Amino acid sequence: MAAAPLLVSTEPKLPQYQVVTPYKPADPRGVPGRYEGQVVRVHADKSIVEETEKVDPQVVRRMVSEGMKSLTGEADERDVWARFFSPKDVVGIKVNCSGAPNIMSCPELVADIVTNLVAIGLPPRQIYIYEKFQNQMNSVKYESYVPAGVNVWAAESQRGSVAGYDPGVHVEANFFGEEDTRSSLVRLVSEKLTKIINVPNMKEHQAAGVTGCLKNIAYGHFSNVDRSHRSAKTNTYSFIGTLAAVEPIPSKTVLHIMDGLRGVWHAGPFSTDKKFRFFPKKMMFGTDPVAMDRLLIDIIEEKRRQENAPSIFDRSKERLITRRSQDANVNQFIREPGHIEYAAGLGLGVYDIKQIRIRSIEL
């Protein structure tokens, strides 16, 4: 496994962040959780057909079963999920649909998570599949994969709507003199959910380097975040970890299941061009988002080497352009994969590859 270099920030000064939240850390917190520094990887070659992108639900079900059993050490399916959830919980499944309908949290995977929650006694009405933007959710149609009563919810029914955000939980930061300097938390998280399952994809991101667990619970939970990458030198290095550390996110996010049936190795996160899509046919399971994202770096870097594309750690000025391009040798931003190590410094998990315990399963 290739080791990603430690990134020393070239920032002369990080932005000043003002975090406002009435919530205190739970004991124990969900992040980095009871399995800090541990990741289970499951690979199944028959999970998806590359030519058609058709997913096999039975293989997905087995991947989830084996991955969760290995993570928890439990032999019984219900005991696995009962380690994290009770019938009294209101559980949110935070999907990622930023590339939908080309790439998104696989609905077959989300459906299996719902099945396991219902099996331990959670009523469907206490389960929320959610994301920020309604139009992206509409393109996936999660409701057609899950039992009646499961909530499919979006923070913004129309782009720019603020009704779905809680002004009482926010981060203030002035990046470039913008008019709106506040990013507020999704109201569903602060007011209703008791537990969160994070279901990100395996994707490169042109500003952040990769977009996995951390970015899905950070930018995926707050309003007004794209202002952090308006110019070539972004603020993703520190903003992602700062948002992910805002309570109650790290206390309520108790499980991460990374969907790597398909992925994006360049021009992420939207994957509008199939040539930048690839098929790891993997899932990762854990409670430590930093450790999981650290392994995601290696997956993206390996694929980029295979495609003779530069490393996501490359900061060469000659590779920068002012617009999006279909050329994998150039980029619109200086990527900041160091945001993962930065998040580790905030207590969100283990970054040092030598300290991460990895269990691999082949199906």
d(CA 239, CA 236) in angstroms, rounded, equals 5
- Mean pLDDT within 178-206: 97
Q: What is the pLDDT of residues 9-47, one digit of tens each?
A: 454 579 999 999 999 999 999 999 999 999 999 999 999
DSSP string, 14-81: PPP-EEE--PPPPSS-SSS-TTTTEEEEEE-TTSEETTTTEE-HHHHHHHHHHHHHHHH--SSHHHHH
Give all strands (DSSP E) within 181-325, no chain letters.
Answer: 182-186, 195-199, 201-205, 209-211, 253-264, 277-278, 282-286
d(CA 94, CA 306) in angstroms, rounded, equals 31
Q: What is the pLDDT of residues 281-335, one digit of tens each?
A: 999 999 999 999 999 999 999 999 999 999 999 999 899 987 777 899 999 999 9
**Could you tell me which residues are beta bridge partners of residue 49?**
54
Q: For residue 2, is pLDDT > 60?
A: no
Range of the domain at 301: 40-168+183-309+337-362
d(CA 29, CA 249) in angstroms, rounded, equals 9
Domain count, the chain: 1
Residue 14 lies in a domain: no
Q: Nearest CA to 1 among 363, 362, 358?
A: 358
Task: State the virtual CA torsion across 92, 217, 134, 232 in degrees, nearest 10.
Answer: 180
Q: Is the peptide bond before 107 cis (omega within 30 degrees of 0)?
A: no
Q: Judge contact between 228 and 314, C-beta under 8 A.
A: no
d(CA 11, CA 237) in angstroms, rounded, equals 9
Q: Judge contact between 284 and 40, C-beta under 8 A.
A: yes
d(CA 64, CA 360) in angstroms, rounded, equals 13
- Mean pLDDT within 67-85: 97
* N residues, the chain: 363
Q: Judge contact between 360 and 8, C-beta under 8 A.
A: no
d(CA 306, CA 249) in angstroms, rounded, equals 36
* Phi and psi torsions of 15, nearest 5°: -60, 155
Q: Which two tokens stand for residue 103?
A: 């790439």
pLDDT value for 296? 98
Residue 93 lies in a domain: yes
Residue 134 lies in a domain: yes
**Could you tell me which residues are beta bridge partners of residue 153?**
130
d(CA 203, CA 297) in angstroms, rounded, equals 9
Residue 5 lies in a domain: no
pLDDT value for 223? 97
CA neighbours within 13 Å on the CB side: how many for 16? Answer: 2
Q: For residue 6, is pLDDT > 80?
A: no
Q: What is the pLDDT of residues 234-280, one digit of tens each?
A: 999 999 999 999 999 999 999 999 999 999 999 999 888 899 999 99
Please give the model's pTM, rounded to 2 decimal places: 0.95
Q: Judge contact between 99 and 271, C-beta under 8 A.
A: yes
- Mean pLDDT within 173-181: 95
Distance set, CA 34 to CA 7, 143, 222, 242, 254 (Å)? 27, 31, 26, 21, 9
Residue 4 lies in a domain: no
Q: For residue 4, is pLDDT > 80?
A: no
Q: For residue 200, is pLDDT > 70?
A: yes
pLDDT value for 271? 82
Q: For residue 7, is pLDDT > 60?
A: no
The type of residue at 263 is G
Q: Judge contact between 130 and 154, C-beta under 8 A.
A: yes
pLDDT value for 325? 78
Residue 155 lies in a domain: yes
Angle at 243 between CA 26 and CA 194, to 5 degrees: 35
d(CA 164, CA 132) in angstroms, rounded, equals 9
pLDDT value for 9? 45
Average per-residue pLDDT for the chain = 94
End-to-end CA distance of the chain: 20
CATH of the domain at 158: 3.40.50.11440
Query: Is the pLDDT higher at 7 or at 335?
Result: 335
Rounded to whole angstroms, the maximal C-alpha distance in the chain is 56
Q: For residue 3, is pLDDT > 60?
A: no
